[in-house]
Structure 1
Amino acid sequence: MKPPPFEYHAPRSVAEAMEVLAAAGPEGKVLAGGQSLIPLLNMRLAAPGHLVDVNRLTGLDTVEVEPGGVRVGALARHARVERSAGAAAAQPLLRQALRLVAHPVIRNRGTVVGSLVHADPAAELPAVLALLGGSVRLARPGAVRDVPAAGFFTGPLESAAEPGELALSAFFPALGPRCGTAFHEVARRHGDYALAGVAALVRLDDGLRVTTARAVCVSAGPVPVVVDVTGHACADGWAAAARDVAKRVEPEDDIHASAAYRRHLTGVLAERALREAAASAAGDVGTRR
């Protein structure tokens, strides 16, 4: 398989990259890790007129722990973020999710920000950003804007990044005290896209009472589905909360699984993830007393 013809650009600075993208408009696509874009090109599912390779840009491969969370640069590879002890300490869900992404060879090239902009509803990282309420920083000549996760994912393989904009970084809020997270998914083979997956975040007070409980589902709708189940927390274990999560998703039938099976899996995984996140939060409370 060969990609359709395109004009290749290799800018040497962020300013030059933005200028090229602005000139290309809707015909421009950014190449960073290429683990999603190149297959789309080869299968003729995408046919941009201009391919803008940003791999020569400096200063975009950073993983920085800031007071409120973790900022990941546009060229930071999955593997680098996964190995970052500082990022894992500030936001454990990042490492929990990245260990489920594809295979090591993919994680060595794929980028965190690229996965977010690709906006695949079956991918783990869009779900993480949505659950945590993070944001993506986008830039064009003369303007920079931060788009919250709630408005960033607009549809399957569609994001709020506009033609001519370059994604510079993503911000993942820190976990905070008395919080726990977990991520569980089911795939036909490890590294395949998940038939269903659920990440959970639970926050407790010092008395081990649940103050926040949220779950996000992958492969369950056109965008990551975030469900607040705080009202169901511990009503009868986490079963009621898991049932509520399963009711809120909109999976579809495909060659891999029926919608009914995906919904069932989502409920099972939600209960498992919520229970594990709560246990993690309870352990955190114990260590801080």
Structure 2
Amino acid sequence: MYAFELVRPATVAEAVAALAEDGAQALGGGQTLIPTLKARLAMPEKLVSLGGIAELRGVTVEGDEVRIGGGTPHATVAHEVAKAYPALASLAERIGDPHVRNRGTIGGSLANNDPSACYPAAALASGATIVTNKREIAADDYFQGMFATALDEGEIITEVIFPIPQAAHYEKIRQPASRFPLVAVFVAKFADGVRVAVTGAAENGVFRWTEAEEALSADFSPSAVEGLSADSDGMIGDMHGTPEYRAHLIGVMTRRAVAAAG
């Protein structure tokens, strides 16, 4: 590690002010940023820790919505939303290992937007709203490619609002070493249609599989997507699987998710 200044603000306003200074970077749970610093892939002069900001933590269920503070750890999400949104709880309780689940935060995951992260699939499939210190951003407008989001410099995710679907499930094949999904699919059925989000498969990160959404909105059953195939163009190809393999798994995971949700 190298020398840097660590700032521990107590409020969002203090954090925003600290992040406005040159060379400052936000630190959530640190499960992505700390390894990045160790590898010298990033070298900010100042880290602004969000861990001590109480207003960023917590889960509330209001009507047909779940509201989760941006600084809420995965383990808390898994416990607190188990009754209201079981599919989201199942996703959260399978992220990483106990250390990651107790330190990593939902806001940190969404801000980083790793192409193999789990939460982006939940947010996109749920039609979630990402709330920041400045504005509200629809999930469809938020994710903009690998590690890219609609967040401005110094903008902080304060809350994520998840509409609760009629039925949903998150299905993934976990890469054993990293515990990130090799391919994962989140399916959510709402009164006005079905949303299907895929993570771990594409070079540009999470995306909606619109062809499957149309088929499932007409018939919410595994057989509705039996003959569909995701395009392998733009899929990740590495030692764990070819683009064609990942494209095939998208269909498999979607059918399994629908079967489990239904």
Alignment counterpart, residue 212 of structure 1, candidates 193, 196, 214: 193
Contact 1:12 1:56 in 2 (8 A): yes
Match of 1:131 in 2: 125
| 1:188 matched to 2:167 | no
Alignment counterpart, residue 168 of structure 1, candidates 158, 161, 186: 158
Distance across 1 between alignment mates of 2:220 and 2:48? 53
Match of 2:187 in 1: 200
Segments of 4+ moved more than 4 angstroms: 234-237
Match of 1:59 in 2: 55
1:240 Cα deviation (Å)? 4.8
Distance across 2 between alignment mates of 1:245 and 1:46? 38
- Find the residue that maps to 1:71 and give its secondary structure: strand
CA-based RMSD: 2.3
- Find the residue that maps to 1:244 and give its secondary structure: coil
Distance across 1 between alignment mates of 2:220 and 2:87? 26
Match of 2:225 in 1: 241
Match of 1:147 in 2: 137
TM-score when normalising by structure 2:
0.90
Match of 1:287 in 2: none
Contact 1:245 1:270 in 2 (8 A): no
Whichever residue aligns with residue 100 of structure 2, its letter is I
Contact 1:215 1:226 in 2 (8 A): yes
Taking a change above 3 Å as real, the CA distance of residues 124 and 236 of structure 1, as seen in their structure-2 partners, is closer
Structure 2 counterparts to residues 1-289 of structure 1, below 5 A: 2=1, 4-24=2-22, 27-84=23-80, 87-139=81-133, 144-175=134-165, 179-189=166-176, 192-203=179-190, 212-221=193-202, 222-228=204-210, 229-233=212-216, 238-241=222-225, 243-244=227-228, 246-247=230-231, 250-277=234-261, 279=262
Moved more, 255-264 or 234-243: 234-243
Contact 1:131 1:215 in 2 (8 A): yes
Whichever residue aligns with residue 152 of structure 1, its letter is Y
- Find the residue that maps to 1:120 and give its secondary structure: coil
1:248 Cα deviation (Å)? 7.6
Taking a change above 3 Å as real, the CA distance of residues 185 and 242 of structure 1, as seen in their structure-2 partners, is farther
TM-score when normalising by structure 1:
0.82
Taking a change above 3 Å as real, the CA distance of residues 33 and 147 of structure 1, as seen in their structure-2 partners, is same
Which of the pair has more CA radius of gyration? 1
Distance across 1 between alignment mates of 2:86 and 2:104? 20
Distance across 2 between alignment mates of 1:22 and 1:10? 14
Structure 1 unaligned regions, length at least 5: 205-210, 280-289
1:187 Cα deviation (Å)? 2.0
Distance across 1 between alignment mates of 2:229 and 2:78? 28
Distance across 2 between alignment mates of 1:68 and 1:247? 34
| Identity across the alignment (%) | 30
Taking a change above 3 Å as real, the CA distance of residues 10 and 154 of structure 1, as seen in their structure-2 partners, is same
Distance across 2 between alignment mates of 1:60 and 1:237? 38
1:256 Cα deviation (Å)? 2.0
